[in-house]
Chains A and B, each alone.
Chain A
């Protein structure tokens, strides 16, 4: 898994590539927590390069969403492939996270 964070003026774009499982989820979780602890509460998760996510990664997403929303921010998703979409549907997350096909649209949603 590889993570990169691109800070814009008010929004951070977190790009996640590869696999998020129990081995790699702590790094994903720390990246999200790091932003939120610095008051960066508007997060776009760019899943263009995400191949796979397990419950460990889903927990990190949910925890970040709760913290962000409690602080008046949000976590939105962009460019989810069919595999990830199916996983999100299995756990009911498709109704909790706003999803976009276009990065600009996702950033503009804040």
Chain B
């Protein structure tokens, strides 16, 4: 059985802790342990920071977070915004490496999202919806 919950917040950095706490509770409900809950919170935090900084660019807007909880199975996270489409493929890929000189800081957020979740799917300008990011994590 799937249980669905939604949180709608202004696209502001001071809402990130609230968004993380909301999704963290959903992850615990699915059955994820502490390390995975942290990774899921990270993915949502990074995605929402991108929406605030790159899609809305500081302008007023709304972030709509929907979680679909399938107990002992998987968590689906859907983030919707009406900002300018932000194409993650235009961000240079972050490559973790062992030398400080070689580390490039760009792309860190997207890298964390992809590392933390099993599926990350961006859709832009979906009619009647806006930009939609779907992230799935299997237990």
Contacts and interface: CB of A to CB of B under 8 A. Distances in A.
Nearest to B109: A55
14 contacts: A19-B20, A21-B45, A22-B45, A23-B16, A54-B45, A54-B49, A54-B109, A54-B112, A55-B112, A56-B49, A62-B105, A86-B39, A90-B112, A90-B115
A65 B103 CA distance: 11
Main secondary structure of the interface of B (DSSP, over half): helix
A91 B98 contact: no
A91 B94 contact: yes
A82 B108 CA distance: 20
Contacts, number: 74
B69 interface: no
B79 interface: no
> Contact residue range for chain A?
20 to 34
Given A54-B42, A58-B108, A23 B100 contact: no
B112 to A, nearest CB: 6
Interface of B: 13-14, 16-17, 20, 34-35, 38-39, 41-42, 45-46, 49, 52-53, 94, 96-98, 100, 103, 105, 108-109, 111-112, 115-116
